[in-house]
Amino acid sequence: MASAPPDLLSLRGRVALVTGAGRGIGSATAVAFARAGARLALVDRDGAGLERTADAIGAAGAEAMAFTADVADAAAIAAAVQRTVETWGRLDILVNNAGIVRDATLADVRDGDWSATLEANLTGAMVCARAVVPHMRAAGFGRILSASSIVAEAGNYGQTAYAASKGGIVAMTRVWARELGPKGITANAVAPGFIDTDMVRSVPEKVIAQVLARIPAGRLGRPEEVASVYLFLASDLASFVNGAVVDVDGGLLL
C-alpha cells in the first residue's frame, strides 16, 4: 500500500459514512479514510466512542460529523445521510461495519438474540445501503463496503446467528454488485478473521490460543490492517473490483 501512487490511493474530495465507527475496525477505518483526505460521517450507538473517533479524525486534519444512531433505524439513518449530503454536497463511500455477536449453540439460540443479531448485522447494512444509493446513483459513482467474516465461509461453533448474518452480507453484496455496477457503484465485502478488538478479547484465552495455533501469521490481526483493505477498496485502485469478498485472516482459512 505504501508504494501505491498517492493520487490513486487518495480519497481527497470524497465523503464517507462509516457505521460502527466508535471503536475497533470502524474507528480505525474512519481514521484511515481521514488520513487519505476524506470527510467522514460517523454512525454508532456509542456516543462517547464517536467523540473519540471524531477527535482522532480532527487530529488527522480532516472533518467529521457524528450521529448517535442504530443502523437498523431507517429514519435515523435517512436523517444522517441527508444531513451529510446537505453539508458536504455528496456521499461517495459507505462502510457497513456495525455489528454485534450473541453466541449460543443451536439448541440454546434465543429468539431475541437471533433477531437482534440479524437486525444489527444484516438489516442495518441493507438500511444504510438503501439510504445512500440514490445519492450515489445521481453522482454516477459509489463504493459500498460491508463487513462479512470468515465464519460466513467456515462456520464457527456457537455462532449460528452471527454466521447467518455474515453470510447474508456476502449474498447482498453480490446482488448489489450486479444491480449497481452499471450505475458506477461497486459493492464489495471484507471478511476479517480474528482481529484484536473488544469482541475478540471477550473470547476465552484457551480458545484464542487454539486459534493462534491455526493462523500461519501466528498472531491476531490489527484493526488498522483491516482498515487498509477498506481503504484500497474505497480508492480508485479498486475501480474494477466488484462483488468481491476479501479475507483478512492471516491465512487462517488456508
Q: Which residues of 204-218 are buried (b: 16+ CB within 10 A; e: fewer)?
A: eeeeeeebeeebeee
Contact (CB, 8 A) for 184 and 140: yes
pTM of the model: 0.95
| Terminal C-alpha separation, the chain | 23
- Written as tens digits, the pLDDT of the chain (254 aa) is 444 455 778 999 999 999 999 999 999 999 999 999 999 999 999 999 999 999 999 999 999 999 999 999 999 999 999 999 999 999 999 999 999 999 999 999 999 999 999 999 999 999 999 999 999 999 999 999 999 999 999 999 999 999 999 999 999 999 999 999 999 999 999 999 999 998 887 778 888 999 999 999 999 999 999 999 999 999 999 999 999 999 999 999 99
CB neighbour list of residue 121: distance below 8 Å, 6 or more residues apart: 98, 99, 100, 162, 165, 166, 168, 169
**pLDDT for res 6:** 57
- Residues taking part in catalysis: 162
CATH number of 6-245: 3.40.50.720
Domain ranges of the chain: 6-245
